Structure 1
Amino acid sequence: MEFNPSCKDKKKTMKQSMLLCCKLYISESRNKAALDSIERAARSDPETVIVNKFEDGDYNRVRYTLVSYVAHDSTGCPIYSPLYQTVLAMAEAAYEAINLELHSGAHPRLGVVDDIVFHPLARASLDEAAWLAKALAADIGNRYQVPVYLYGAAHPTEKALDTIRRELGYFRPNFMGNQWAGWGVPEVLPERPDEGPAQVSRARGISMIGARQWVATYNVPIMSTDVSVTRKIAQMVSARGGGLPTVQTLGLVHGEDSTEIACMLLEPNQIGADRVQSRVEMLAAQEGLDVEKGYFTDFSPEMIIERYMKLISDTA
C-alpha cells in the first residue's frame, strides 16, 4: 500500500504516541546459533524495534524488550500492531532451535517461550495490551500446539502470574536442589490452559502470556553460596512473606560464589528499588552476609520510548 503524505504523517504520529512494549522471555542464553535465529526473525519487520536484550548465562535465559505502535479502526478499536507478527516469528524460531528437554539453568521456567508480557506505553491503554496478548496466545496455542496460560488484564478474572506459576509447580527446582532441567511437570496439566492443548510437548513446554501495567525487575546479589539463607531473606522482603507491599522475590543460585534475589516491583513508583535494596541489606546483615548494589534488568518506560524513537527514526 502506498501512503500519501497525510497518511505518512498520521502513521508517524501513531508510531510516536500509541506504543506497546513486549517483554519476551526465552529459555536459552548459551546457544548463540539459537539466539541468532531468533534475532533474525525479530528483524523481519523494521517497524518493530528491539530496544533491549538481557542475557544471563547462569539462568540460561534471555529477555527481549520490543516496542511498536498499535493501529485502530474508525471506532477506536485496536486492529493491528507489528508486534504481533514479530513476536510470533521469534516464537517460531525459538521452538525450532531450542529443546526444553536439553535445557538447564538456575532460573525457573516451564517453556521454551516461557513468558510474554505486554505493557502499554505513551498513550496506549492496558486494554490494547490485553487485546494483543489474547490474539497472540490463540495463535501460539493453536499453531504450535503449546498450552498457553493467560494472566493479568488478558485473563477473564485478571488472574496473577505468580498464582498460575504456583499451581503448575514453577517455583520448585527439579535438579540438584537449585536448578531446573528438562520438563519437570506432568505431561497432562493439572490446570486447563486458556489456549492450546492440555497435553504438553516436553520439547516445547508451556507459555504464559499476559498484559499489565509496567513492572520493574531488580536483582540484588548476595555474597553467599547458601541459597537457603538467600531464599529466607527473599521471602522476608516479599509482600507474600510480610515484607514490602507489591514486591515479589526469588532467591536463586547465581554463579559459583554468590546467590541473588530477583525482584519484581509491581508498582515501582510506590515501592522502588531503594526500599528493596535497604531491606535486603538490613536482613542480610543480620545473617552476617555482604550485599552488592542491585541492578535493573531493563530500562525505564521513559528510556524505552526514547530509545524506540531514536531507533525508528534511524531506520526511516
Structure 2
Amino acid sequence: MDFYHASKTMGNQSMLICCKFYISESRNRAALDVIEQASKLDPEAVVVNKFEDRAYNRSRYTLVSYVVHDSTGCPTYSPLQQAVLAMTGASFGAINLENHSGAHPRLGVVDDIIFHPLALASLDDAAWLARAVAADIGNRFQVPVYLYAAAHPTGRALDSIRRKLGYYRPNLMGSQWAGWALPELLPEKPDQGPSQVPRARGIVTVGARSWVATYNVPIMSSDVSVARRIAAMVSARGGGLPTVQTLGLVHGEDASTEIACMLLEPNQIGADRVHKRVEMLAAQEGLDVEKGYFTDFSPEMIIERYMKLITTSTTLD
C-alpha cells in the first residue's frame, strides 16, 4: 500500500462497512484459493475472517473497508464494491452449482451478500453499496439478483424471498441440497439481472441491515426431523423467540444435527436465550445439546482486526 492510499485509508476509519460474502463451496481448495486471491486485488478491502463448513459445503468471507461521502454526505465510493465484484467473478469461474451438494440450503454459487454498517457508517451507506453491487452483478454476470432488507424499497425480508424460491426444501435424500432444482424461469421478477436462471450459477441475494449474528447449537441426535421440530419452536415464525430465524440441519460426518440460527437483533435476543430455549426443547425430546458457537466475530472484534491488518499493511509498505 503506497503512502497516498495508506493516508486515505487511515483517514476514513470512522466510516466502515462490513460485507459477509457467502459461497456454496468449502471442499474444493483450488476454487477457494482462486476466490481468496481475487479478494486481495484491492488492499483497502480486507478479509478479516473466513468460516468454512465442510458438512454444509459452504463458506463465508467477512470483509471490511471504508466508505467515502461527497460534500452533501451521500456515499460515493467504497473499495468493497470492486473487491466483491472480483470475488463474485472468481466464484462463478471456479464453481458450478450443478455439481454442488451439501447439507445447507442455497440458491446460488454466490448465495448471499450482506452489508452491515460499522463504527460511524449508516445503514443508508450499506444499502447504497448493496444496490450498487447488485446492479454490477446482475449486469456483468447475467444472473438474477434479489435485494432485501434496507437495500430493497419495501425492506422485504430475506427469508420471504427464499421461501418463495424453495430454499428451505431439501432436494436430495431428505437432508441435502444438490444442483439446481427450481424452474429456470423465475416466478418473481428479480431486482437486477435476467428472469432466467443460469443453472451453473443460480441466484444471488444482496441485502443491507444492522448487525446479524450467526449462532449454531449442536444437538446430540442424528434425527434431522427432531432438529427441524426444535428449530421451528425456537424461531419467531414458529412462535418462539422474536427476531430469531432457525434451520434444523444435518451436520458432521456422523450425521449429527444442529440448530443454525440467525439473530436479527442480537442486542435484544442474544445467544444465551437461544441456547437456553434449544436446551429446554431438546430435553423434552430426551436429548442433550453441546456448547453453541458463533460463526463470526462481534462487530467490535471485526473493527479491531481490521485496524490491526490495515496498520500492519501500512507498516510493511
Aligned to 2:175: 178
Structure 2 Cα separation of the partners of residues 153 and 279 of structure 1: 29
Aligned to 2:73: 76
Structure 1 Cα separation of the partners of residues 100 and 188 of structure 2: 24
Aligned to 2:166: 169
* Regions of 4+ moved over 6 Å: none
Aligned to 1:34: 31
Cα RMSD of the aligned pairs, angstroms, is 1.2
Alignment of 1:188-227 (within 5 A): 188-227=185-224
Structure 1: any 5+ residue segments left out of the alignment?
Answer: none
Correspondence 1:21 to 2:22: no
Pairing partner for 2:277 from 279, 284, 287: 279
Aligned to 1:305: 303
Q: TM-score of the superposition, structure 2-length normalised?
A: 0.97
Equivalent pair of 1:21/1:118 in contact (CA under 8 Å):
yes
The alpha-carbon distance between structure 1 residues 40 and 281, as it changes in their structure 2 partners (threshold 3 A), is: same
Pairing partner for 1:101 from 98, 102, 124: 98
Structure 1 Cα separation of the partners of residues 60 and 6 of structure 2: 32
C-alpha displacement at 1:27, in angstroms? Answer: 0.3
Equivalent pair of 2:9/2:44 in contact (CA under 8 Å):
no
Give the partner amino acid of 1:282: M
C-alpha displacement at 1:212, in angstroms? Answer: 0.3
Q: Deviations over 1:267-294 (max 9, x none)?
A: 0011000000000001000101110010
Equivalent pair of 1:100/1:204 in contact (CA under 8 Å):
yes
Aligned to 2:288: 290
Structure 2 Cα separation of the partners of residues 163 and 55 of structure 1: 26
SS of residue paired to 2:297? coil
Alignment of 1:28-177 (within 5 A): 28-177=25-174
Aligned to 1:251: 248
Structure 2 Cα separation of the partners of residues 314 and 52 of structure 1: 16
Q: TM-score of the superposition, structure 1-length normalised?
A: 0.97
Structure 2 Cα separation of the partners of residues 41 and 10 of structure 1: 22
SS of residue paired to 2:49? strand
C-alpha displacement at 1:125, in angstroms? Answer: 0.3
Structure 1 Cα separation of the partners of residues 228 and 55 of structure 2: 17
Equivalent pair of 1:151/1:159 in contact (CA under 8 Å):
yes
Aligned length: 312
Structure 2: any 5+ residue segments left out of the alignment?
Answer: none
Q: Deviations over 1:72-116 (max 9, x none)?
A: 111111111000000000000000000000000000000000000
C-alpha displacement at 1:13, in angstroms? Answer: 2.4
Give the partner amino acid of 2:128: W
Structure 2 Cα separation of the partners of residues 97 and 12 of structure 1: 34
Structure 1 Cα separation of the partners of residues 3 and 296 of structure 2: 35
Structure 2 Cα separation of the partners of residues 261 and 8 of structure 1: 42
C-alpha displacement at 1:264, in angstroms? Answer: 0.4
Equivalent pair of 1:223/1:257 in contact (CA under 8 Å):
no
Identity of paired residues, percent? 78
Give the partner amino acid of 2:197: V
SS of residue paired to 1:51? strand
The alpha-carbon distance between structure 1 residues 176 and 8, as it changes in their structure 2 partners (threshold 3 A), is: closer
Equivalent pair of 2:9/2:66 in contact (CA under 8 Å):
no
Structure 1 Cα separation of the partners of residues 8 and 33 of structure 2: 34
Structure 1 Cα separation of the partners of residues 8 and 141 of structure 2: 35
SS of residue paired to 1:67? strand
Structure 2 Cα separation of the partners of residues 85 and 278 of structure 1: 42
Give the partner amino acid of 1:296: F
C-alpha displacement at 1:312, in angstroms? Answer: 0.5
SS of residue paired to 1:46? coil
Give the partner amino acid of 1:280: V
C-alpha displacement at 1:9, in angstroms? Answer: 5.1
C-alpha displacement at 1:64, in angstroms? Answer: 0.2
Equivalent pair of 1:238/1:248 in contact (CA under 8 Å):
yes
